[in-house]
Amino acid sequence: MAALPTAVQISADILSRRQRADDIARLKSMMELHALEYVDVSAHMELLQAFERWPLLAYLEAQYQLPVDLQKHKEPSP
């Protein structure tokens, strides 16, 4: 099987086998978009719609969320 030519050569040493099999990981590496996270927008929308449909589920979601770590959001002192 012939390899398609690419503008950026991806070294097998840099990317793990799993990353090489992952198209999005390859694209991120090629485009140097390392911070880009994959977001399944439709699944996220379905989740939001589920919480809209059922107020008890939304209430429980708010009740049992992990408490915010205040140390991480400490205001800088003047």
DSSP state of 73: G
Which listed range, 6-14, 24-32, 58-66, 69-77, lies at the site for another protein (CB under 8 A)?
Answer: 58-66
Site map (CB under 8 A) of another protein, residues 29-48, x = contact: --------------x--xx-
Which residue, 24, 23, 20, is CA-closest to 37? Answer: 24
Interface with another protein, residue 64, by CB under 8 A: yes
Interface with another protein, residue 68, by CB under 8 A: no
Minimum CB distance to another protein smaller for 36 or for 46: 46
Measure the CA–CA gap between 5 and 37, rounded to whole angstroms: 26
Which residue, 6, 43, 10, is CA-closest to 26? Answer: 10
